[in-house]
Structure 1
Amino acid sequence: MTAIKFAPRRSEERGHADHGWLKTFHTFSFAMYQDNKHEQFGPLRVINEDRVAPRTGFGTHSHREFEIFSYVVSGELEHKDSMGNTEILKRGSLQMTSAGTGISHSEKAHGSKSVHFLQIWSLPHTPRLQPKYFTREFTDAEKKDNWLRIVAPVGGEGVSMDREAPGPAPVHSALSLYATIISEGSTLEKGIEGKKGYVHVVQTSKYNPGKAEGASVKIRGGGEELVLREGDGVYMDIQTHGQKLVVENVGSGTAEVLLFDIE
């Protein structure tokens, strides 16, 4: 038995929709895309990779009982919500909304350029929480060839409940999120603490609904090995505690990679 089981989630197999103003991919069932093989993974419920055209976006709509975070890849994202928060989020920004008993918000591309961001939802371990809003800022330099923890469970070491603070954003779910920008030819190692993991390679080079292209990384762990391109992901079932994941940039240029460590 291998210590880690890999199950690839290829970019071209994701749910996909082109609405003109919105070009989007869905890792999990969402909106018109429904696939009972990809409903959720532990508390992880949504990974949408969205590109929104200039001066358009998601009008005011409501959520409850989700932890919702946005990871901005390029452009500027304008956020407004029923808690009175108004903010322009840029490259490196991470916005976390703990929807709890219910919030309304809007998300639009600010300015003359489109915005590319990942919208991620997880299920909280506690129902009917009081809604909260958090923002964090992380530079490319902090992520370069380093696993930077950008989301972590409430109560964890270095996790602040302040609206703005250094360190990871707090989440009421049993997961941590790490981000890295791996240089060409570089290799990173990361110990996995949870029982599950998910890796996603951000589709940074261009919008591509076909077979994945762009940056290329090889991941190894527990006797398994797999090559991922931009937009690809992989489910990881950790069979033996204390496993290490190795990620190697085997393509040209940098690769932006997200790692969910799920308890």
Structure 2
Amino acid sequence: MLRKIESKNMGSSNLGWLKSKFHFSFADYYNPHNINFGVLRVINDDLIQANTGFDTHPHKDMEIISYVVKGELTHGDSMGNKNTITSGHVQYMSAGTGVFHSEHNLGKDILRLLQIWIFPDKQGYKPNYGDYRFNWTDRQNKWLHMVSSKEGNAPIKINQELNIYSLELEKGKDIKFPVNQGRQAYLVQIEGNSLINGIEVNERDGMEITEEDILIEANETSHILVLEMNKQKLI
């Protein structure tokens, strides 16, 4: 089963320094029928102006992934970490028992990132931070497995049974992605335009996929993220 979510129907916010699309309920956007998708709680598509960002603030009991689309993201936290990542790189943080962090765009250009929150498999983990600098070519016309559970095979391991894949598919090419029985996935069309099982998906659209294999055909060069997990009812 597929359900397309057009970006125009998502929640949105414009604070001047920050423009966001909310795939799920967040901040002033609240939809009781759109709180989460399984263990996936937040996907925010953020545009952050240069020399601005999120000042120090707390988190607790959440697995947080930041995927940089364009620009530079500089992180700092109460564990003493400070680092900057750029396009195609991933930052991850297990908030666990509690952590304070900041996220800023200290570059000259607008920063675009996907901020992803995932429920952990239990509460009370020790806070943890890391980042990974993936080669862009590793996702060109093939799936790049970036995130998995601690029992999985991806370079980034989180406290939840969930996989994250990225892809840049050239115009005119196609690729399959399996979503087996008992599994579900959430797809973000980050850039470009594609057909997914014949359904047109445009830039910044999303799609829920439940127990159905998909075929992606790129009408334009398409940058895509897929989060794949156990099938679960909405919380």
So what's the TM-score if we normalise by structure 2?
A: 0.94
Picking from 72, 75, 98, the partner of 2:94 is: 98
- Does the 8 A contact of 1:88 with 1:110 survive in 2? no
SS across alignment from 2:120: coil
Counterparts of 2:83 and 2:149 in 1: how far apart (Å)?
24
Picking from 163, 176, 184, the partner of 2:171 is: 184
Counterparts of 1:188 and 1:125 in 2: how far apart (Å)?
31
SS across alignment from 1:12: helix
Report the Cα offset of residue 175 of structure 1. 1.1
For these two proteins, the number of residue pairs brought into alignment is 229
SS across alignment from 1:261: strand
So what's the TM-score if we normalise by structure 1?
A: 0.84
1:1-263 paired onto structure 2 within 5 Å: 5-156=1-152, 158-159=153-154, 167=155, 169-193=156-180, 195-202=183-190, 204=191, 215-220=192-197, 225-238=198-211, 243-250=212-219, 252=220, 254-263=221-230
Cα-Cα RMSD? 1.2
Report the Cα offset of residue 245 of structure 1. 1.8
SS across alignment from 2:168: strand
Report the Cα offset of residue 128 of structure 1. 0.3
Report the Cα offset of residue 49 of structure 1. 0.4
- Does the 8 A contact of 1:186 with 1:248 survive in 2? yes
Worse-matched range after superposition: 106-115 or 191-200: 191-200
Report the Cα offset of residue 217 of structure 1. 0.6
SS across alignment from 1:142: helix
Moved over 6 A (4+): none
Counterparts of 1:145 and 1:88 in 2: how far apart (Å)?
27
Counterparts of 1:178 and 1:110 in 2: how far apart (Å)?
27
Counterparts of 2:209 and 2:139 in 1: how far apart (Å)?
22
- Does the 8 A contact of 2:179 with 2:209 survive in 1? no
Where in structure 1 are there 5+ consecutive unaligned residues?
160-166, 205-214
SS across alignment from 2:121: coil
Report the Cα offset of residue 191 of structure 1. 1.9
Percent identity between matched residues is 33
SS across alignment from 1:133: strand
Where in structure 2 are there 5+ consecutive unaligned residues?
231-235
Report the Cα offset of residue 173 of structure 1. 1.5
2:188 is aligned with what amino acid? Answer: H
- Does the 8 A contact of 1:192 with 1:244 survive in 2? yes
